Each structure stands twice: as structure tokens, then as C-alpha cells.
């Protein structure tokens, strides 16, 4: 049997080194992709938090209009309109951030699945597949939290808009007083909304921490 020449051994060694280098590069890219996914998820959580703070500002202005000792309701009314517009924009930003995270997740999942195919050990390949599914579940929970944060705004913002329209041509003490029962409902909805947002942030952060590379 002919022995491999020194040149052939060198070629084989070079190919092996290249394979190891490519594998290491792929692993580095995988870690970077997961880090990018975690960053994108964090941006979604930040957007939820920003939307919550903006919503609280809106409710504070709303309540200031309905206060018996309110001064310059016309000015407060304009401010409320501005705060509501800002709230809707913050709400839309949550959706945009969630969409970006969904794209990042798709890239990570495909890369992970492709690399798992190359694992020769059946046991390790199975465990990698299970880890991938668990990661998908965590991302789904974060995305669900973001979507929930967007959805829960609808009823309370609709109620606020109806009242803004109601006051549009009737911004006097009697009209404001007539909204007292409605204001109680809106404030109850507002409390529920902020509670739901806090829960969404907590769920998302818990899953983000589990995804973050150590």
C-alpha cells in the first residue's frame, strides 16, 4: 500500500485546519446572531415600557381635564389630543419592534437548524433540536407579550377618543361633569392596561435572560 506523500499529508492537514476554521467561524456567527436576537427582543421590551410611560402621561392629562378645579380646559384639551397621538405612535413602535424581532428570530432558527444537521452524535443532535424548539417557544412568548401589549390599548384608547370627540364642541363644566361615570370606567381600564403591560415586560425579560449568551 502506497504511503501518503508529505505533500499529500500537508494538503490533508490544510483541509482539516480549514474545516475547523470554518466550523469555528460558523459557531461565532451563531453566537452573534443569538446576541442580535436578544438585542432585538430587548428593543421590543423597551418599546413596551416607553408606550406604558406615554400612556400614563395621557391618562394624567385626561384626568386633569375632568378635575373640578381644572384651569384652562381648552389648553388641556389640546394637550390631551397631542398625548393621545404620541401614545398611538408608541403603540405602533411596539409592533414595528416585534416585527423586527420576528425577522431576527427566523434567521437564528434557520442557522441553528442547518448547523444541527451536521452533528454526527444522534444524542447531541437530538438535544440541539430540543434546545432549538425551546428557544422558539421562548421567542414566541416574547412576541406574544409584545402583541398583547399592542392589543390591550384598543378598548381604552377607543373610549378616550369617544370622550375627546364628545368634548370637542362642548368643553364646559357641565359636559365635563357628565363624563364622571365614563371617567371611572376609563381609569379602571387604564389600571388594567398598565398591569397587563407590566406582566408583558416581566414575561419578556424572563425569556430574554434565558436566551442571553453567558
The 3-state DSSP class for residue 70 equals: coil
Q: 54-72 burial string, b = 16+ CB within 10 Å, else e?
A: bbeebbebbbebbeeeeee
| pLDDT band, residue 22 (cuts 50/70/90) | very low
What is the pTM (predicted TM-score) of this model?
Answer: 0.78
Give every CB contact of residue 197 below 8 A, 6+ residues apart in sequence: 48, 49, 51, 52, 55, 149, 152
Identify the CA nearest to 136 among candidates 210, 201, 43: 210
Domain boundaries, given as residue ranges, for the chain = 20-211
* Alpha-carbon distances of 116 from 23, 35, 128, 137, rounded to whole Å: 12, 19, 6, 18
Gyration radius (Cα) of the chain, Å: 27
| pLDDT band, residue 196 (cuts 50/70/90) | confident
Whether residue 19 has pLDDT greater than 50: no
* pLDDT tens-digit series, residues 153-194: 888 889 999 988 888 888 888 888 899 999 999 999 899 889
pLDDT of residue 123: 92
Helix axes 73-117, 153-167, angle to 10 degrees: 160
- Cell numbers representing residue 70 in the block: 381644572
| pLDDT band, residue 68 (cuts 50/70/90) | confident
Summarize the confidence of residues 20-41 as an average pLDDT.
Answer: 65
Average pLDDT in the chain: 82
Whether residue 27 has pLDDT greater than 60: no
Give every CB contact of residue 94 below 8 A, 6+ residues apart in sequence: 44, 47, 48, 51, 146, 149, 150
- Cell numbers representing residue 208 in the block: 430574554
Identify the CA nearest to 137 among candidates 64, 43, 188, 210: 210
Residue 82, Cα to own-chain centre: how many angstroms?
Answer: 24
The architecture CATH gives domain 20-211: Up-down Bundle (1.20)
Identify the CA nearest to 142 among candidates 213, 214, 37: 37
Amino acid at each position: 500500500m502506497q504511503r501518503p506523500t508529505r505533500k499529500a499529508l500537508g494538503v490533508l492537514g490544510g483541509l482539516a485546519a480549514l474545516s475547523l476554521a470554518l466550523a469555528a467561524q460558523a459557531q461565532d456567527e451563531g453566537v452573534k446572531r443569538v446576541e442580535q436576537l436578544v438585542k432585538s427582543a430587548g428593543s421590543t421590551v423597551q418599546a413596551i415600557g416607553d408606550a406604558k410611560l406615554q400612556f400614563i402621561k395621557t391618562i394624567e392629562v385626561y384626568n386633569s381635564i375632568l378635575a373640578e378645579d381644572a384651569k384652562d380646559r381648552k389648553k388641556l384639551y389640546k394637550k390631551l389630543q397631542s398625548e393621545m397621538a404620541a401614545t398611538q405612535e408608541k403603540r405602533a413602535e411596539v409592533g414595528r419592534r416585534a416585527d423586527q424581532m420576528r425577522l431576527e428570530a427566523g434567521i437564528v432558527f434557520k442557522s441553528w437548524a442547518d448547523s444541527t444537521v451536521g452533528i454526527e452524535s444522534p444524542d447531541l443532535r437530538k438535544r440541539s433540536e430540543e434546545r432549538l424548539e425551546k428557544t422558539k417557544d421562548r421567542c414566541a412568548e416574547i412576541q406574544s407579550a409584545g402583541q398583547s401589549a399592542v392589543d390591550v390599548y384598543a378598548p381604552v384608547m377607543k373610549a378616550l377618543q369617544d370622550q375627546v370627540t364628545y368634548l370637542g364642541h362642548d368643553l364646559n363644566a357641565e359636559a365635563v361633569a357628565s363624563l364622571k361615570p365614563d371617567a371611572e370606567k376609563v381609569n379602571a381600564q387604564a389600571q388594567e392596561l398598565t398591569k397587563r403591560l407590566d406582566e408583558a415586560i416581566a414575561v419578556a425579560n424572563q425569556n430574554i435572560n434565558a436566551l442571553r449568551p453567558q
